[in-house]
Amino acid sequence: MYTEKVMDHFRNPRNVGVIDNADGVGEVGNPVCGDMMTFYIKVKDHTITDVKYQTFGCGAAIAVSSMISELAIGKTLEEASHLTNNMVAEALGGLPEQKYHCSNLGADALHKAIEDYLSKHSDTLLKKENKQGINTTNENGREK
Amino acid sequence: MKRTYFDHAATTPTRPEVLETMLPFFNQQYGNASSLHQEGQAAAQAIERARSQLAALIGASSKEIIFTSGGTESDNTALKGTGVISKKKHLIVSAIEHHAVLFTAKAMEKMGYTLTVLPVDSIGKVDPDSVKKAIQPDTFLISVMLANNEIGTIQPIREISSIAREAGVLMHTDAVQVVGNYPVNVEELGCDMLSLSAHKFYGPKGVGALYVRKGTPIVAWMDGGEQEHGKRSGTYNTPGIVGAGKAAELAMNEMQERITSVKKLRDYLLTELPKRVEDIRINGSLTDRLPNNIHLSVRYVEGESLLLYLDDAGFAVSTGSACSSHSLKISHVLQAIGLDAVASQGSLRITLGQENSREDIDRFLDVLPKVVGDLRAISPLFKSKKQEAR
């Protein structure tokens, strides 16, 4: 059902975890639909220096999370904002048809984390200055 | 890696004795049982022998057995075959029926029949009183399964049958999960029709039967060569039918042994699981339950992931999570018993068989906490819960 690449990322998800003092946090999905992802990013000089995530979901959801984390690290915010769910699926060698709509949410979660970062740094952004240590984890209601 | 099969509600391995009985009927005694020549009559005799073996297993008479292609066809025949010739147009089914009954009933609703779907309680039981209340002057059929395929809950079919009989309504029960694995007697149950499937009790796939009590008004809904006294058309699947008969014979001889062995393992697993994994719940009834069924909710993890990690570790299990289904919907059974989304998504079904051993259970008990731990470690829901506790 899944490609070898999907199974590899599902079995050994990369970059799993939480960034305590993340610069941006993005959450998508909910338990009712079966997939839920919370992404954390660190940003320095407009570049994503670290990505971590936690995912509740099927094999595809976990593999997608892992893949987008690899794709995003080292990219500028501009580049990362152009990553799409389809690009993630493609990088995984494809997903089963029915998984494209429900589990392929990695890019959405990343974009939300970037938006979160930008909303907090709209002033500093123009000065191309990076602030670190802004802890957003507690403000982001992740309970349900 | 050693594989351990814990998905006997899905299907069972065909027993070697069954396979051996079937083999000659592919290329030696290959006659069409409807033919009058010797080849045909040899097949016909073998089929009649299988029919009596199957009838004996459920306490029926041979004439009351119609061979079908399996549980789905048996269910379709029971509902449509009685509906087609009934002047009455209302039928009653339970909310946790297998799709072979539920979707057939819904398809009939589109054809102009009226349908009542009965709710179940939190352990998956139908209240016989609710059946009584649902009966209308126009009701021709009640169909409630004998035991549920997901959570294993056994229904009070005897009581429902007597309500049906009193009201002059036909009673069908889908006993696909039960026949061959737990004692079934159509006289005790009092049902008019009963569906069974051979591959659920170590017989071959592609063959089942519908028990139809003598005198029950039913017609074929599939037209053709009018085999089975005109009640089911299609060339006899001789090897399959012979295999089903042999599987029935084995089941009869081994019934008590099968129940005792799986129940012992099941109860051991049920006792040990909560000690090994926190935040799990057992779904369904603890008393009125198939002896080989365990149904759990492992909170904060998703069932498909759990299934695939267990598969990697050598265990074949099943889940009712949305992601694992073709429809991407949570199992209708888990919805009907009122499980919340997280508990449904983390559902795990383990169904044991006679070839499972205590060692299999012990290895599973070693593996499950690790697999659950790995998935919870990456689950945002589990973390939230820990944070809430702080």
Give the pLDDT confidence of B294-318 residue by residue, as tens digits. Answer: 999 999 999 999 999 999 999 999 9
Backbone angles phi, psi at B120, to 5 degrees: -125, 165
pTM here?
0.92
Cβ pair A58:B378 closer than 8 A: no
B298, B307, B325, B378, best to mutate vs chain A, most A CBs in 10 Å: B378
CA distance B296 to chain A (A): 17
Token duo for residue B46:
């073998």
d(CA A103, CA B32): 50
Residue spans of alpha helices (H) in chain A: 4-11, 59-72, 77-81, 85-91, 99-102, 106-120, 122-126
User: Residue B228, class by beta-carbon neighbours within 10 Å (0-12 exposed, 13-18 middle, 19+ buried)?
Assistant: buried
Radius of gyration of chain B (CA): 22
d(CA B316, CA B304): 12
Give the domains, in start order, of chain A with CATH numbers: 4-127 (3.90.1010.10)
Residue indicated by tokens 């990088």: A91
Mean pLDDT of A9-21: 96
Cβ pair B312:A11 closer than 8 A: yes
d(CA A44, CA A74): 10
- Is residue A82 within 8 angstroms of chain B, CB to CB? no
Token duo for residue B105:
């009933």
Q: Note the pLDDT of residue A100.
A: 84
d(CA B161, CA B188): 10
Contact B82, B221 (CB under 8 A): no
Q: At what angle do helices B238-276 and B38-58 cross, to 10 degrees?
A: 30
Contact B348, B319 (CB under 8 A): yes
Q: Note the pLDDT of residue B330.
A: 87
CA angle B1, B366, B331 (to 5 degrees): 85
- List of residues 6+ apart from B210 with CB closer than 8 A: B65, B66, B68, B73, B74, B77, B78, B193, B194, B195, B196
pLDDT digits (tens, 9 = 90+) for B269-281: 999 999 999 999 9
pLDDT digits (tens, 9 = 90+) for B42-72: 999 999 999 999 999 999 999 999 999 999 9
d(CA B196, CA B173): 9
Domain B4-10+254-389 listed as CATH 3.40.1210.10 = no
- List of residues 6+ apart from B163 with CB closer than 8 A: B128, B131, B132, B135, B142
Residue of B367, B51, B378, B366 lying closest to B236 (CA atoms): B51
- List of residues 6+ apart from B326 with CB closer than 8 A: A98
Overall size of chain B counted in residues: 390
- List of residues 6+ apart from B56 with CB closer than 8 A: B248, B252
- B63-91 burial, b for 16+ CB within 10 Å, e for fewer? ebbbbbbbbbbbbbbbbbbbbeebebbbb
B191 is catalytic: no
d(CA B258, CA B251): 8
Give the pairing type, strands A47-56 and A35-44. antiparallel
Helix (H, G, I), strand (E, B) or coil at B148: coil
Tell whether the model's pLDDT for residue A138 goes beyond 60. no
pLDDT digits (tens, 9 = 90+) for A93-136: 999 988 887 778 999 999 999 999 999 987 655 544 444 443 33
Spans of chain B, pLDDT less than 70: 383-390
Report the chain B residue with the minimal C-alpha distance to residue A53: B378
Contact A77, A113 (CB under 8 A): no
Cβ pair B321:A34 closer than 8 A: yes
Cβ pair A98:B388 closer than 8 A: no
Give me the sign of the Cα torsion angle B349, B355, B361, B366.
negative
d(CA A39, CA A35): 13
Between positions 9 and 48 of A, the ones with CB within 8 A of B are 10-11, 13, 16, 18, 27, 30-38
In chain A, residues with a C-beta closer than 8 Å to the C-beta of B347 are none
Check B85, B111, B323, B341 and give the catalytic one. Answer: B323
> What are the residue boundaries of the structural domains of chain B, listed by start?
4-10+254-389, 16-251
Q: Note the pLDDT of residue B322.
A: 75
Tell whether the model's pLDDT for residue A144 goes beyond 70. no
Q: Note the pLDDT of residue B222.
A: 87
ipTM: 0.88
Chain-centre distance for alpha carbon A119: 17
Task: Let me know how many helices (H) and strands (E) chain A has, helices first.
Answer: 7, 3
A58, A64, A102, A144, best to mutate vs chain B, most B CBs in 10 Å: A58
Contact B29, B42 (CB under 8 A): yes
- Is residue A142 within 8 angstroms of chain B, CB to CB? yes
d(CA B190, CA A96): 46
In chain B, residues with a C-beta closer than 8 Å to the C-beta of A102 are 323, 328
CA distance A131 to chain B (A): 26
Report the chain B residue with the minimal C-alpha distance to residue A29: B380
Confidence band for A142, pLDDT divided at 50, 70 and 90: very low
Total beta-carbon pairs less than 8 A apart between chain A and chain B? 73
d(CA A63, CA A53): 12
What fold does the segment set B16-251 form as a domain? Answer: Aspartate Aminotransferase; domain 2 (3.40.640)
d(CA A100, CA B50): 48
